[in-house]
């Protein structure tokens, strides 16, 4: 039976990787972090109903 891996939202680890890789967080990425918006990374989302929804 295949396991479903949930998509990951922006985390401190992701923010740190952006700063290490480019020396700073890009403005759009920083805006999303400041707004508390999740970023789902990957090639696709297997099931959109699994994504956490929130008012924005």
**pLDDT of 14-44, one tens digit each?**
666 666 666 678 889 889 889 888 887 788 8
Residue 28: inside a domain = yes
Look at residue 5 in the predicted model and tell me its pLDDT: 60
| Domain encompassing residue 21 | 8-41
**pLDDT of 5-22, one tens digit each?**
655 555 667 666 666 666
**Which string of DSSP letters, residue by residue, matches 2-53?**
PPPPPPP---HHHHHHHHHHHSS--HHHHHHHHHT-----SS--S-GGGSPP
Residue 31: inside a domain = yes
Residue 48: inside a domain = no
Look at residue 24 in the predicted model and tell me its pLDDT: 77
Residue 35: inside a domain = yes
Domain count, the chain: 1
Look at residue 21 in the predicted model and tell me its pLDDT: 61
Residue 55: inside a domain = no
* pLDDT, the chain, mean: 75
Residue 47: inside a domain = no
Residue 23: inside a domain = yes
């Amino acid at each position: 039976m295949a396991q479903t891996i949930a998509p990951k939202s922006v985390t401190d680890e992701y923010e740190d990787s952006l700063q290490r890789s480019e020396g700073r967080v890009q403005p759009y990425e920083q805006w999303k972090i400041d707004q508390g918006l999740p970023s789902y990374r990957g090639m696709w989302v297997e099931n959109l109903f699994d994504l956490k929804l929130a008012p924005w």
